[in-house]
Structure formats: structure tokens, C-alpha cells
Structure 1
């Protein structure tokens, strides 16, 4: 699948009923998916380390602190996946320099996981990064997000040394965009 930025992608028979298209980072659908993503990864972190869910006030601050503005053209792109027409997930790309893009906010609602959407989203994000001029994609993730690490390895990302000092980053990946 090679989506054209600005228009919905046409799913192949294997990917139907998925569509992936650019979405404004501040649209209602993008905001709802950001909230779901942030809630899940924050709760997973606290449950693993402290045996509790995220404090509601802290959760709201975290959601508000990261608007997603860096995922807007001309140096970024947020992609929204729909399953049977309903918002189901996101992936974001932002240029770090002329040759390097960062993959972020890769998320699918739990009920559509395992149905091929993650690979479609990451593929569309790679296409968006190429359209922005990037020749490589980097990302970071945590150790407890084992599904994400497995996905990236399956899609050709290789684990590298650290490329940032994010306090939550425990694994760093890179892929050359051909």
C-alpha cells in the first residue's frame, strides 16, 4: 500500500476493511485516540512499577502536555487508521533533521489488534516519512511494550543504541527507508 498524502489509502483485498489517511493532530478522532493511547501506556507503566493506575490528574496533565503539534505538515504527519470506517488507531511521523524521521504514537484499539492494521499504519508512516524527505526512521519504546518491539522487528527495524535520553525509552530502533 502506498498512500498519497492528503487522500485516503485504498486498502488491498488483504487489508480490507482498513483505511489509513492523514489526519489533523487536533481533530476529535485524533484527540480521542491520543487519550486512549496515553491512558494505556501510562497505566501499563504504573501498574508494572507501582501496582496502580495513573492518577487521573497526572493523566490529564500528560495528555495536555503533548498536543501533537509536531505531527503537522510541513515537518510531520499524523496518520489515522479506520477499521470498517471507525477510528481505530494512529501513527505519527516527525522530521528530526533532513534525513531522519521519528515514528511515534503507533497505537491500535485493543479490539482491532491482530487484524493487520499495525503493519499498514507503520507502512503508511514510512511512506509519509519518505514524502517528507527522510531516508531513515528511528523510534524508541519501553521494555514492557513487548508487542511493539515484536512488531518493529518483524517490519525490519533493528535495535540500536540510544538516540535520545527520554526517561521512558528503554529500546531504540532504526530502519533505512529504501
Structure 2
């Protein structure tokens, strides 16, 4: 009886967490390594910068952070926060380097899109760096439109920006 309620072995299961949850630690830790390697800089400084966002920005009602677990281990994750009254901004999209090219990031972004729509946003915005061609390919393949330049924003702005309108429920 209880067997049916457990997720199948190898099935990706998403959980909502806060930025300070231990399940989010691998996301922050590996992103720090990856960003430092791709863009230069000391890993500890990149790590501190990643942790510099106020946790509340990634919490309900305006934001959220999801971690994808595979057999109980975090393998993918990402967040969103309010960009403006109708737009959510994707942040920190990550898949563990040992689990890439298996569709986890696509499943994550789709799940984030569902959560963003459920929160009443009608559009998603994101920026990414110019040394992340995998990210660019993912967003284009999921129906995002590349913008000529990023939208004006406070704080970090990366050179490559995308937007996507969410379908309106009728």
C-alpha cells in the first residue's frame, strides 16, 4: 500500500525550500565554482556574492526556490523573484555537473514556469552570461525570446537576456 506513495527510484521530485535550506547548499556551492571557472574570480568571493541576495526575495508570495531531488539528493534547482508587478525573474538555474544532459534543467524550468504562472505573473525574464551557451540553448528551446539587450534593472545585469509570455488561463 505505502509503495505507491513513494516516488519511483530515479524520478525527479521537486521541493520548495529557502535559500538557507541545506538542500540549496549544493546549488550555491557548485554555481560558485562554475561561475569562478567560467568568468574568473575567487570562488569564495563568488560564493559570498551568490549568498548576498536577501532570502526573502526568493520566498512567497513574490518568489520561490525549488530543488529537484533524485533519490533524495539535490541534482537541480533554481529560483525566481519579482522583477515587476507582472514579471518574474528566473535566477540561479543549476544542474549538478554529474547529472547534466538528462532533461533535469528542462523539467526544473517547466516546474518554475508553472509556479510563476500560479503566482499570477504573466511574463518571465532572465539574464545569463555570455559564457553559458548551454543556458542559451535551453531557453531558446523552451520558447524564450532573446532580447537585443537586457532590461534596465538594479544590481547585476548580464549581457544575454530572454523573456517569455506565459499563457493566460481562460
| Aligned match of 1:153 | 140
2:150 to 138, 162, 169: 162
| Aligned match of 1:134 | 121
2:58 to 62, 66, 71: 71
Structure 1 residue 101 corresponds to structure 2 residue 85: no
The alpha-carbon deviation at position 168 of structure 1 amounts to 5.4
Deviations 1:116-165 (A, max 9, x none): 10111000110111111100000000111000000000000010132135
Give TM-score scaled by structure 1 length.
0.80
Aligned partners of 2:141 and 2:44: how far apart in 1? 37
Asked whether the 8 Å contact 1:93–1:128 carries over to 2, the reply is no
Taking a change above 3 Å as real, the CA distance of residues 133 and 57 of structure 1, as seen in their structure-2 partners, is same
Aligned partners of 1:117 and 1:60: how far apart in 2? 23
Asked whether the 8 Å contact 2:36–2:42 carries over to 1, the reply is no
| Aligned match of 1:17 | 11
Aligned partners of 2:137 and 2:66: how far apart in 1? 21
Runs of 4 or more consecutive aligned structure 1 residues displaced over 6 Å after TM superposition: none
The alpha-carbon deviation at position 67 of structure 1 amounts to 4.8
Structure 2: stretches of 5+ with no match in the other structure: 1-5
Give TM-score scaled by structure 2 length.
0.84
Aligned partners of 2:59 and 2:110: how far apart in 1? 18
Deviations 1:78-100 (A, max 9, x none): 01011222111211111222210
1:84 to 50, 71, 76: 71
Alignment RMSD, CA only? 2.1
Asked whether the 8 Å contact 2:36–2:43 carries over to 1, the reply is no
| Aligned match of 2:161 | 172
- Give the number of aligned pairs: 159
Aligned partners of 1:94 and 1:76: how far apart in 2? 4
